[in-house]
Amino acid sequence: MFNINEIRKDFPILSRTVNGKPLVYFDNAATSQTPQQVIDVIVDYYSNYNANIHRGVHSLSQEATDKYEQARHTIQKHFNAKHAHEIIFTSGTTHGINLVANGFSSILKAGDDILVSALEHHSNIVPWQMLCERTGANLKVIPMNQEGELVIPEFDALLSKNTKLVFVNHVSNALGTINPIEYIIKQAHLVGAAVLIDGAQSTPHIKPDVQALDVDFYVASAHKMCGPTGQGMLYGKESWLKKLPPYQGGGEMIAEVTFEKTTYAELPHKFEAGTPNICGGIAFGAAIDYMNTIGFDTIASYENELLVYATKQLQNIEGLTIYGTSKQKTSVISFNLDGIHPYDVGTILDKLGIAVRTGHHCAQPIMDFYSIPGTVRASFAFYNTKEEIDALITGIKKAKMMLS
């Protein structure tokens, strides 16, 4: 049974005040909060078995190695990857994307096409632009419409035998749109293109099955899923990960090193050079376990209730425009008040203890599409409440009164 009062007790930060007011945390799309269960795992690591992994014969090192590799298995199971070695630990979504983009430098040729969507975060644009500069490949953009949805017939028209790669986010961070990735993956595969899905904003709400999706690469960040910052994962099909060259050279990613030649370690270690964020990996596993005890269907349905409740009230505020009205949406609402800069609204809300994000949300092309400098973005998690949404609505009305 979903008991919001019990769930909120898991998050110590939710009982603090900000500017003398109870914290209302609506910046979950930027980073989620951490439950005590995950904080305990972090404290336990540093208190009891902090050691480097895969290197020591001593007990602490073996304990840390076992816990780290268990976390990899937890992530494998969660995403339903076929093999644990298809899960590469990264520092986050950005790292995972750059790892793949770098790998394709030696595979792409001048004149190849790569498709990216108009709804992407800069992390899923800039690495591909850099890849195009290195290889001479062309970056083509799947356009969006006013509702903030991808224009699928245009995607179909862009696909050709020249298309080698397609990159789309599962969910847009700025608008909350859930993209039809099943269709995109299927169609891309028909022309022989590989697909990378940016799951930074989907994984807090949806449990993706990478085998059912038949996706080639899927990336995510732990800090958006109740886990720590500086930790993420890249899923890659075994066949692709074997084909791609390592991203970084260093300790742990080698089989043998001489000055004449180095051979690389097997997966996943080939892509994990240097001492990783050991505690982060273990805590990521704990965060996934925590979210699964609540259940992703329960999370999605409760968050949708919050989304519908907030949307209805926001629509009643005169002069307020919501950007991103796709039928398939996660609990993200981007909006502006007529003639008022989003930064000013965010500052007043902060004075009331309400945390939202303002600005372009690292998705400038979306802002350009709507010809706006940015938006106010409220993003809800399963530990938020309708009462908090009421406080947001009151805050927005106050901001409107003060600023217009």
Residues in contact with ligand C6P by CB under 6 A are 29-30, 92-94, 121, 123-124, 169, 173, 198, 200-201, 221, 357, 361-362
What Å distances lie between residue 237 and 178, 190, 264, 283, 324, CA to CA?
23, 17, 18, 24, 32
For the bound state, the minimum distance from the C-beta of residue 171 to ligand C6P, rounded and expressed in Å, comes to 7
| Residue closer to ligand C6P, measured from CB, 10 or 198 | 198
For the bound state, the minimum distance from the C-beta of residue 31 to ligand C6P, rounded and expressed in Å, comes to 7
Token pair of 208 as six digits: 């993706």
For the bound state, the minimum distance from the C-beta of residue 356 to ligand C6P, rounded and expressed in Å, comes to 11
Residue of 132, 226, 279, 362 marked active site: 362
For the bound state, the minimum distance from the C-beta of residue 123 to ligand C6P, rounded and expressed in Å, comes to 4
Gap between the Cα atoms of 66 and 227, Å rounded: 19
Q: How many CA atoms lie within 13 A of 330 on its CB side?
A: 32
Residue 228 DSSP code: -
| Residue closer to ligand C6P, measured from CB, 32 or 76 | 32
What Å distances lie between residue 362 and 13, 74, 173, 267, CA to CA?
26, 30, 9, 32
For the bound state, the minimum distance from the C-beta of residue 359 to ligand C6P, rounded and expressed in Å, comes to 9
φ, ψ of residue 342 to 5 degrees: the values are -55, -35
For the bound state, the minimum distance from the C-beta of residue 78 to ligand C6P, rounded and expressed in Å, comes to 17
Q: Is 255 exposed, middle or buried (0-12, 13-18, 19+ CB in 10 A)?
A: exposed
Token pair of 283 as six digits: 């805590």
Residue 85 DSSP code: G
Gap between the Cα atoms of 219 and 221, Å rounded: 7
| Residue closer to ligand C6P, measured from CB, 333 or 362 | 362
| Residue closer to ligand C6P, measured from CB, 64 or 299 | 299
The amino acid at 176: G
Active site residue 362: yes
Question: What SS3 state is found at 294?
Answer: helix
For the bound state, the minimum distance from the C-beta of residue 61 to ligand C6P, rounded and expressed in Å, comes to 28
Token pair of 89 as six digits: 């630990």
| Residue closer to ligand C6P, measured from CB, 72 or 223 | 223
The amino acid at 3: N
| Residue closer to ligand C6P, measured from CB, 329 or 400 | 329
Q: Are 131 and 114 in contact (CB under 8 A)?
A: yes
For the bound state, the minimum distance from the C-beta of residue 5 to ligand C6P, rounded and expressed in Å, comes to 28
Token pair of 3 as six digits: 């008991």
| Residue closer to ligand C6P, measured from CB, 42 or 51 | 42
Gap between the Cα atoms of 27 and 33, Å rounded: 9
CA angle 154, 156, 161 (to 5 degrees): 125
| Residue closer to ligand C6P, measured from CB, 65 or 93 | 93
Residue 356: name the closest of 119, 123, 24, 16 by CA.
24
Q: Crossing angle for the helix pair 278-294 and 36-44, nearest 10 degrees?
A: 150
Query: Dihedral of the CA atoms 39, 44, 46, 49 (nearest 10)?
Result: -150
Burial 293-308 (b: 16+ CB within 10 A, else e): ebebeebbebbeebbe
φ, ψ of residue 41 to 5 degrees: the values are -65, -40
Catalytic residues: 362
